[in-house]
Amino acid sequence: MATTKIVIDPVTRIEGHLKITCEVDNGKITDAYSSGTLWRGIEVILKGRDPRDAGQITQRICGVCPMAHGTASILCLDDAFKVTVPDNGRIIRNLLLGSNHLQSHILHFYHLAALDYVTGPDVAPFVPRYKGDYRLPKKLNDQYVAHYLQALEMRKKAHEMLAVFGGKMPPQITMVVGGVTVTPSVDKMASFLWRLREIAAFVNDVYIPDVMGVAEVYSDYKNIGKGCGNLLSYGAFPQDSAGKEKLFKSGRYTKERVLSFDPNKITEDVKYSWYKDGTSGKKPSEGITEPEAEKASGYTWLKAPRYEGQPYEVGPLARMWVNGDYRQGISVIDRHAARALEAKKLAEVMEGWLLQLKPGQPAYAETKVPDSGEGMGLTEGARGALGHWIKISGKKIENYQAVVPTTWNAGPRDDKGVRGPIEEALVGTPIVDEDNPLEIVRIIRSFDPCIACAVHLIKPSGEMKRFRVV
Amino acid sequence: MELTRREFLKICSASAVGAGLSQMYIPELVQAMEEAAAKKPPVIWLQGANCTGCVVSLINTAHPTISEVLLKIISLEYQSNIMAAAGELAFSHMEMIAERAKGEFFILMEGAVPTKDNGIYCTVGERNGKEVSVLELLNEIGPKAKAIVAVGDCAAFGGIPAGKPNPTGCKPVSEIVKGVPIINIQGCPPHPDWVLGTIVHVLLFGLPELDDKARPKLFFGETVHQNCPNYSYFQEGKMAKKFGDKGCLIELGCKGPMAMSDCPLRKWNSGVNWCIGVGSPCIGCSSDTFPDGMSPFYSALPQDKRPKKDSEIV
């Protein structure tokens, strides 16, 4: 039987512009290509600006994950400015990031992923839809639709909670080098607390049971979409001013062992990306990106990040696994389950953090733009490990680089031809109906890809003339 | 329909005490919208060089809720972050709507349009095995729309991706499509009320009154500075010297005198807060010149660009 090609362009219900190409042979995916199809060049835009502007501009890399970029960027600037943030500032930053994780996880399950399992009402934007494998009995299906609408209100409330200290969302405005601009007060703490409790109740009473419901009815997806099997977390939510103790530890899981993580071992390959081969294998802090749009082997604007040369999956499952909080398995269902359980864990600990705030005490330490310096900011976005790197000279940004979660997950093959995690997760999957490839979109969406994040921090120094040959 | 245009404008205007689309449940407005939406106009939401922040901001709408918007006000035929369909099924549906509802459908455009190298920096789908750039798509379906709402700084004026040195040649919608009414809603991202207030105005009363940059005067008629709660500090000359201080934030970089929006009155996230409410200077994201005209965000405006205090006006 001849090999057929399934192209999904655009992949919807994700953030950004993504195209997936699968080769199918005898009803099974034999190969897969993941292509990011928007490039804006945001770090080119950052170059030459006041370093403090990075905290705001990088939040515009992505309107779904501004908190993650804001956090990585501000940690990176704290490092370069050599400033120690007061406890109030550290705690408020953690509360902001935690609020957006809650918002993002609820949004992901109900509004991005659920329509792969649940039949929506027969009106736009719920039609048209792929036909076929929807298994929920009508009564349960209707309940999910009701929860879809309820979840819209809950995720909105999570953003209201974030705005209590963050000013607004998206993006927040309060984080600055040295802390936050807002001084905590009891009224703000109360306003935050009662929203948090309402969201925590939704997570426990609705979100987690709904994920378990899908896991039960679609239990075959516990064996679908494993991917590379390596998991990586940079660690996040510092519990002390030095950032030694974190809610989520940094580390990685490979070959059935949890090992330590060293940021110096990250490199990026570009053989299959539209960049010159000579720039392959560089560390992000030394990253050079020279486009070569005519490159026949190229098929994406994403690079291929590797740790000690190996692909790694990032995201809530990786964080929860490395931390020892979830070790059931690696699959479509496990990604959804780990994400939901992480929401529960966060909602619980955030109440304790909130009560550690000292009302009226400073949340900001004064600092000045240094003449020169370098900084690194590592954190965990809702979608996984995120790192920003800055180089300052003459009080301006000389270079800015980032390696983001979706670059890890949706990146292409590396120079050795080893597929990226999403590509690998697709290979071997049986496809029942090539015209309605629900299996493919279920696998892709379990990673919660965010393409605006993934394709941005690349530095072109020449003209791009041509592009894609798939 | 009971509601007059005048009443509607009053509801939308944040300066009406305690009002604003988000802050008030208006039965007449709801009824009027439902009547207008009985026809449920088809809407195609396009995304160019974007970040999806405008979508996330829009779904934070308080009244009407986003569920009401989706189920009762518009027929959102194409919106890649929300819609059930994917790939060819989604893309061909959009093309079908643009043809079938020619002259009747609305485009809500998020993101700027990369024009360099024929727009290759942003492709949004495929047709006959060939990628379609957002530039190409907008040129094709833009002229068929009844009107286009450019949602956010990027679509309206270029915004972040058009920031210096504008690596991909990003342009606003108004420089690509001609001959179709275009409304510019600025903000990075815009407040949901600005977007929905404009949509509802168009559905009920036609085009709102626009300024010389095609922005609805209703939302962008005054500066942030004019309505700022720190305005009296400014008049007294009490200036915050570091974050956390009481006082006007102009020395810390506030661009309130240059930003055109009703943020101080309307506030964000269901009225919970806004930028200056957490002691942050306004970075001027509601502006046709963001980011370059407002950068560096944390450096004080030069004296010649600052507004005059009452005592300085002779």
Residue A325 lies in a domain: yes
Query: What is the domain partition of chain B in residue ranges?
Result: 5-219, 222-309
Give B38: exposed, middle or buried? Use CB within 10 Å, 0-12, 13-18, 19+: exposed
Is residue B51 annotated as part of the catalytic site, yes or no? yes
What are the tens digits of pLDDT across the range A384-407? 999 999 999 999 999 998 888 999
From chain B, pick out residues whose CB is under 8 angstroms from the CB of A155: 59
Domain that holds residue A97: 4-454
CATH number of B222-309: 4.10.480.10
The Cα–Cα gap between A248 and A183 comes to 26
CB contact under 8 A, B279 and A174: yes
Judged against a pLDDT cut of 50, whether residue A457 lies above it is answered with: no
Judged against a pLDDT cut of 80, whether residue A292 lies above it is answered with: no
Judged by average pLDDT, the poorest of A357-361, A450-454, B111-115, B231-235 is: A450-454
Residue A120 lies in a domain: yes
CB contact under 8 A, B71 and A112: no
The Cα–Cα gap between B70 and B67 comes to 5
Strands of B63-105 (E only): list them: 75-78
Judge if B5-219 and B222-309 fold alike in CATH terms: no
From chain A, pick out residues whose CB is under 8 angstroms from the CB of B79: 125
Q: pLDDT > 90: what percent of chain B?
A: 76
Residue A466 lies in a domain: no
Selection from B303, B299, B203, B212 nearest residue B260 by Cα:
B212
CB contact under 8 A, A182 and B117: no
CATH number of domain containing A400? 1.10.645.10
Of A9, A124, A163, the CB nearest to B268: A163
CB contact under 8 A, A16 and B75: no
From chain A, pick out residues whose CB is under 8 angstroms from the CB of B131: 9, 19, 37, 468
> Per CATH, which fold does B5-219 belong to?
Rossmann fold (3.40.50)
Of B12, B54, B122, B170, which one is the catalytic site residue? B54
Q: For tokens 């009803």, what's the residue?
A: A27
User: For residues A184 and A357, is the Cβ–Cβ distance under 8 A?
Assistant: yes
- State the pLDDT at residue B312: 82
What are the tens digits of pLDDT across the range B140-197? 999 999 999 999 999 999 999 999 999 899 999 999 999 999 999 999 999 999 999 9
User: Containing H/E element for A130?
Assistant: none
Is residue B170 annotated as part of the catalytic site, yes or no? no
From chain A, pick out residues whose CB is under 8 angstroms from the CB of B278: 165-167, 173-174, 180-182
From chain B, pick out residues whose CB is under 8 angstroms from the CB of A294: none
Judged against a pLDDT cut of 70, whether residue B21 lies above it is answered with: no
What are the tens digits of pLDDT across the range B239-263? 999 999 999 999 999 999 999 999 9
CB contact under 8 A, B88 and A171: no
A17 at B interface, C-beta within 8 A: yes
Please give the structure tokens belonging to residue B154.
């990027």
Complete DSSP assignment for A240-290: STT--SEEE--EEEETTEEE---GGGEEEE-TTBTB-GGGTTB-GGG----
Structural domain tally of chain A?
1
What residues pair up with A180 in beta bridges, in sequence order?
A175
Of B12, B154, B170, B201, which one is the catalytic site residue? B154
Instruction: Reply yes or no: is the peptide bond before residue A171 cis, omega within 30 of 0.
Output: yes
Residue A461 lies in a domain: no
pTM of the model: 0.94
What are the tens digits of pLDDT across the range A73-125? 999 999 999 999 999 999 999 999 999 999 999 999 999 999 999 999 998 89
Judged by average pLDDT, the poorest of A434-443, A445-454, B181-190 is: A445-454
CB contact under 8 A, B168 and A183: no
DSSP label at A86?
P
Question: Which residue of A17, A67, A193, A468 to mutate against B (max B Cβ within 10 Å)?
Answer: A17
For chain A, the distance separating the N- and C-terminal CA atoms, rounded to the nearest angstrom, is 22
Residue A465 lies in a domain: no
Give this complex's ipTM.
0.93
